[in-house]
Homo-oligomer: A and B are copies of this chain.
Amino acid sequence: MNEDFTTKWISQLKKGTLSFLVLSILKDGKEYYGYDLINEIKKRTQIDIAEGTLYPLMNRLKKEELVASKWVEQESGIPRKYYTISTLGLHTVNEMKTYWDSLNTTINAI
C-alpha cells in the first residue's frame, strides 16, 4: 500500500532523527562503540542503521565536538572506537529535545 513512499519517507525522517537518537543514547554518560550503537539502536527502536550511515555520522559528531572518542585495543579481536558525549553534546541534545517536543505537540494539535 504505497510502501514505496512511506519507506522513502522513513529514510528522510532519519536525516533529522539519527543524530538525535545517537546523542540521546549517549546522554547518560555510558560509552558505546559504533558497531555496538547499531545493535543497541536496533534493539531499542527497531531502527536499522547501515554501517555506511553510522560511521560517517559519528565522524561528523566528533568533528562538531559533540562527542569524544578513544581507541580501545581488545585482548582478542578488532580494536573498538568508544564514544562519549561532550558538554557541548549534552547541551545540543537538550536543545534538540526541546525542539522535538514542541514539534510533536504541534503535530498532535493539527
Tell me the A residues contacting B by CB distance below 8 Å.
1-2, 5-6, 9-10, 12-17, 19-21, 24-25, 27, 44-45, 64, 66, 88, 91-92, 95-96, 99-100, 103-104, 106-107, 109-110
Contact = CB atoms under 8 A, between A and B. Distances in A.
Contacts of A95: 1-2, 6
B100 A2 contact: no
Main secondary structure of the interface of A (DSSP, over half): helix
17 contacts: A2-B88, A2-B91, A5-B64, A5-B92, A13-B15, A13-B16, A13-B17, A13-B20, A13-B103, A15-B16, A16-B16, A21-B107, A21-B110, A24-B110, A44-B106, A45-B106, A100-B107
A12 B15 contact: yes
B6 A110 contact: no
